[in-house]
A and B are shown apart, each in its own frame.
Chain A
Amino acid sequence: MSVRDAVDPWEALRGLPMGQRIELSDGRGGVFVGSVVPRHELSGERILILKLESGYNVGVRIGAEASYRLLEPTPTPERRAEPRSPAEGGPHAAGRWITLLATGGTIASRIDYETGGVRPVREEREILAFYPDLGKSGRVRIVPVFDRLSEDFVPADWATLAEKVVDAFRDGAEGIVIPHGTDTLGFTAAALSFLVRDLPGPVVLVGAQRSPDRPSSDGSSNLAAAAAVARDRRIGEVVVVMHAGLSDTRFAIHRGTWVRKMHSSRRDAFESRNGPVLGEVENGEVHLSGPVRSAAAGPARAELPLDDRAGLLWFYPGLDPHRAEEFVRPLRGVILAGTGLGHVALRHLGWIRAATVRGILVGMTTQCLAGDSDPYVYATGRDLLRAGVLYLGDLLPETAYAKLVWALGRSNDPAEVTRLMREDQVGESPGRHPARGEPA
């Protein structure tokens, strides 16, 4: 049938179901045969996107002179779906299992052709479709927990994850893998380190810097390495496993409280700051080299609730003390990422003194993201110390924030919160910063 009536052809065309095959004349001499696919959210006005028979997508501007004809769908060619082994390992699989707590993020995202961005997968089935090899080295149970990108996480989600970790260990998992978006993966790793104690096995957070709809995704190799670490009985702490370099061959094991995303796009974006990596995975084998916390007898327990009335404030030269004061007012504690050894401008002393007097914890870290904070070297530090600032040594700002969220949940007494913050809980402060000379 030919459609050329009084109505604006754009109105008719935009209403066609996705996948509808048409022959389109743009009225300017161009004729296209293809199926209607979603418009990109940045597509121009009155642009219809057609997937041509060649596979190319083209955008055609639909003017009043355009016309089209509906066509039968192309017969779909035979699909050769590769056989997929069930992740549970089948009836013959013996031994224990690891539990995968799916949260979303790039590692479990696929392209959204409408927005052009990536969106999290929502089903276990989809995860298995991406990672058919996941079950090869042993049994895997998949528990969907969230389906969100990590920038959308809030501290309450850490509590949910902590409970799921405890549940999974109670149910008999030998280790846990948490695929997670990489943007805030460091925060979650630090938070879980404080929130879940007496771990009988590893809790491994893992992510991907390239979405799994790309053949080059690092997701599958990271996940395989994470699964290997999760099966390692020597480990009883929260770790992050990601690429150690740009090759798909070596994977670094980072302590959850020492790790930070240090690059926006590289596969090896995650680095252990101040302390060493705990080990590496190569050819599926786990090699430990750092001060690994051994597995506890268990059972794992969650230290909950947490209290998210905590803040993280990055000092900058133009920071207005009144703004800072307003920011801190509703909070029970704030972590400052100060300059250098842990400094802020002296004009901030007023609100800081007032806050600490009111029992608000003000913790100091360094925005250098490497090295110690130290109040004694400069007069500013000594002034801040006198104003009640708690210097947190070489804790990363994010780790200090996560620790604070945990500590505030443990007690309403500011003195007790300060004590918890001051004490080493889970080896979160590397403390010792080895020197390395120039290569001889």
Chain B
Amino acid sequence: MKAGLEVHQQLSLSKLFCACPSELSEEVLGTVVRRLRPAGGEDRAIDAAAAFQASRELRYRYEVVPSSCLVELDEEPPHPLNPAALDTALALALLLNARPVDEITVMRKIVVDGSNTSGFQRTALIATDGHLDVDGRRISILSVCLEEDAARKVRESGEEVTYRLDRLGIPLVEIATGPEISTGREARAVAQEIGALLRATRRVRRGIGTIREDLNVSADGGHRIEIKGVQELNKIQEYVDREVARQRLLLEIRDELARRSAPPPDGRPVDLTGLVDDITSGPLAGAGKGSTVVLALALPGFDGLLRSPAGTEERLGRELADQARALGVRGLLHSDELPAHGITEERVREIRARLMLGAGDAFVLVSERSRDRAELVLRRVAQRANAARSGVPGETRDPLAEGRSRYSRPLPGRDRMYPETDIPPIPIGRDRIRSVERSLPERPEARRARLAREHGLDPEVVRQIVYSEDEEPFEELTAHGHAPALVARLLLHELPSVTRPEGSGPFALEPVTLDALLTAVESGRFAKEGIPAVLSALAAGAPDLDTAVERSGLSGFRAEELAALVDRVVRANEELVRRRGKEAFSALMGDVMREVRGRRDGKEVADALRAAIARIADGEAPPTGTGS
């Protein structure tokens, strides 16, 4: 088994081929409607993935935002590639010990799902042949690429898909590792290390969706499968195991078909509309009724190979059904799962007779309102069945929540790429490399050592900072003179603990707000214990820090008020204090803090309480307070 990772990270620079800012927007100025059709590359071959996407004949609507320009709408040629983005990619290449190419050719990667207005994604190979040491193991880096991000899908309904242009064109660095990762644990460590390197450049966007990972898996003797957009690193192991099992089964089926000398399916559909009209359940329930047609396809030699063999959940039947679903139909029935769903054994015999099937043969049924569509589905099924004769077809698959993946489209091949002729080749000279080298950022391991040394922080805390998105704000805030321990606690614990309404994503604050918050604490405006309350107020919609402090009830608790409060609590418990002396402190501290509610620093409160206790315990009369 072999697995490799592809990490995609957005850069916080202006867009790759125009001067627009890389910012998402909720303001839509208008829309533009387009259609796309596949186009051939240098050798005029139309890529399988492109042809597949185009066969769905969708209409694409693009939402224009205030920062959109004609380049994003494919109404103006691309501007020269953003040099800062290229330098960032080169810096990453050097950090990954990769070799920059001598001359960069920007390519067009055909993508006709509408996510790019042009119908292609511009992408360039920047460097090859690098490596990264993770926990003592060397992982090869196959490539570092620079590409433009796709438009953001907003909604999909029927024949129309809506995208927003704000994300389109954001510079994206893609780092691909070699297929050397063998465990999920290792995959996570590699992803973390790459993430830390990316953030070290200080030019990456942060937050949900700004970093995305793909997983490439191939079993021994199998084929590379791309599982796109895996969100949870914890699940990588499961996806890998399921994929390996699937590929092993497909290889066994290949061998069995060869033993049976099964001929390729001819792909000719047979109309069974009059014959099959009693399906009561399953994906074809109601087939043959009304104006639907029922078509069947013979699969010679496939009998018994469509169902799951003992000991695995994988099955070829589902692969065929996934092809149908990828075309937007509900699914199909195959002979290994019949009789069922109202189809009797007698009916199965009739179908087999109509299709002139022998004992070792199988069939599939589809039902659709449109005959053209049903035929298209069966053509695709026949192609997939035919591919089973040679084992594992290369595919792009979507990860599903239950740990398996599902066919989404053919694996894009080299036919998908052709040169972007609107951008001249970009030479990468020694001078440029040297200048990038000179401003190379600190590597994560060096940074860890430095942070631990400079701030006297626990190595585990430092590790958490460097492997999270908090590193940059940490450095920024400590550089402003805030106490490292306080900053670390704010970033690592207090901010992530703020609860937000379901579905509204994690809570984030601008560095300038964090800075003001820490300044307020340090100047004694309220105590550090009050931070969670202020954060909650901000999360609940307080427009600024002052309002948040106000709403958390933290403002205006003066030193005299604290003295009065302590005095009141001590007096109410005078007997306890006299009996237990200084040991009464811990019993009373909680009561006082409950009322202080973070408005004064904990140490200050403790000192005041100790002093008050001491006065009574030592026999002094408590001072007369002002009361409150």
Contacts and interface: CB of A to CB of B under 8 A. Distances in A.
Contact of A59 (B34, B102, B123, B421): B102
B540 interface: no
Given A40-B105, A40-B424, A265-B77, A215 B46 contact: no
Interface stretch (B114-122, B366-374, B547-555): B114-122
Contacts of B107: 55-57
Main SS at interface, chain A: loop
Contacts of A2: none
B425 A111 contact: no
A265 B79 CA distance: 13
Contact of B425 (A44, A51, A216): A44
B424 A42 contact: yes
A216 B424 contact: no
Given A55-B414, A266-B76, A82 B51 contact: yes
Contacts of B128: 30, 32, 58
B45 A79 contact: yes
A249 interface: yes
A214 interface: yes
Contacts of B40: 213
Interface stretch (A113-121, A176-184, A226-234, A353-361): A113-121
A117 B421 contact: yes
A28 B50 CA distance: 37
- Contact-residue bracket for chain B: 35 or more
B112 A215 contact: yes
B48 interface: yes
A120 B262 CA distance: 47
Interface string B55-91: 0000000000000001001111100000000000000
Nearest to A45: B427
Contacts of A434: none
A13 interface: no
B223 interface: no
Interface string B101-113: 1111101111010
A267 interface: yes
A43 B110 contact: no
Interface in B116-148: 117-120, 123-125, 128-129, 143, 145
A49 B105 contact: yes
A100 B119 CA distance: 27
B39 A53 contact: no
B51 A80 contact: yes
Interface in B28-55: 32-42, 44-46, 48, 50-51, 54
Contacts of A54: 125, 143, 414, 417
Nearest to B427: A44
Contacts of A51: 42, 414, 417
B239 interface: no
Contacts of A58: 101-105, 125, 128
Given A56-B107, A61-B103, A265-B76, A248 B419 contact: no
Contacts, number: 155
Given A248-B35, A265-B70, A77 B413 contact: yes
Given A44-B427, A47-B102, A53-B414, A118 B35 contact: no
Contacts of B119: 214-216
A345 to B, nearest CB: 36
Contact of A212 (B39, B105, B125): B39
Contact of B117 (A80, A213, A216): A216
B418 interface: yes
A217 B119 CA distance: 9
B325 interface: no
Interface in B452-507: none
Contacts of A221: 35
Contacts of B33: 247-249
A79 B48 CA distance: 8
Nearest to A37: B42
B568 interface: no
Nearest to B111: A215
Contact of A248 (B34, B412, B427): B34
Given A44-B427, A215-B112, A60 B74 contact: no
Interface in A13-61: 26, 28-32, 37, 40, 42-44, 47, 49, 51-61
Interface-central residue, B46, B101, B107, by most chain A CB under 10 Å: B101
Nearest to B77: A265
A346 interface: no
A216 B34 contact: yes
Most buried by B among A51, A82, A245: A51
Contacts of A53: 414
Contacts of A113: 42, 418-419, 421
Given A55-B416, A113-B42, A118 B421 contact: yes
Contacts of A117: 421
Most chain A beta carbons < 10 A, residue from B383, B418, B425: B425
B39 A59 contact: no
Contacts of A60: 101-103
Interface in A327-357: none
A267 B425 contact: no
Contacts of B118: 214-216
B75 A267 contact: yes
Contacts of B143: 54, 56
B307 interface: no
Interface string A71-96: 00000010111100000000000000
A129 B76 CA distance: 26
Interface in B585-620: none
B421 A55 contact: no
A103 B427 CA distance: 37
A140 B79 CA distance: 39
Interface string A58-73: 1111000000000000
B421 A111 contact: yes
A112 B42 CA distance: 8
Nearest to B71: A265
Contacts of B125: 52, 54, 56-58
A111 B105 contact: no
Contacts of B50: 215
Contacts of B37: 215, 217, 220
B105 A246 contact: no
Given A55-B417, A57-B107, A216-B36, A210 B99 contact: no
B544 to A, nearest CB: 39
Nearest to A53: B414
Contacts of A118: 421
Contact of B75 (A37, A55, A217, A265): A265
A215 B110 CA distance: 8
Task: Name the residue among B50, B103, B414 with the largest chain A CB count within 10 angstroms.
Answer: B103
Contacts of A266: 70, 75-76
* Most interface-central of A28, A215, A245 (chain B CB within 10 A): A215
A81 B35 CA distance: 20
B76 A215 contact: no
Nearest to A213: B39
Interface string B397-433: 0000000000000001111111101001101000000
A40 B414 contact: no
Nearest to B37: A215
Interface in A220-260: 220-221, 245-249
Contact of A44 (B99, B103, B417): B103
A214 B70 CA distance: 16
A215 B414 contact: no
Given A54-B143, A265-B76, A247 B421 contact: no
Given A55-B415, A56-B107, 19 more contacts: A28-B99, A30-B129, A37-B42, A44-B103, A44-B427, A51-B414, A54-B417, A56-B145, A57-B125, A58-B125, A59-B105, A82-B46, A213-B39, A215-B50, A215-B54, A215-B120, A247-B32, A247-B33, A248-B35
8 contacts: A51-B414, A57-B419, A58-B125, A80-B46, A111-B418, A215-B39, A215-B54, A215-B112
Nearest 4 A/B pairs, CB to CB:
A215-B119, A59-B103, A55-B417, A55-B414
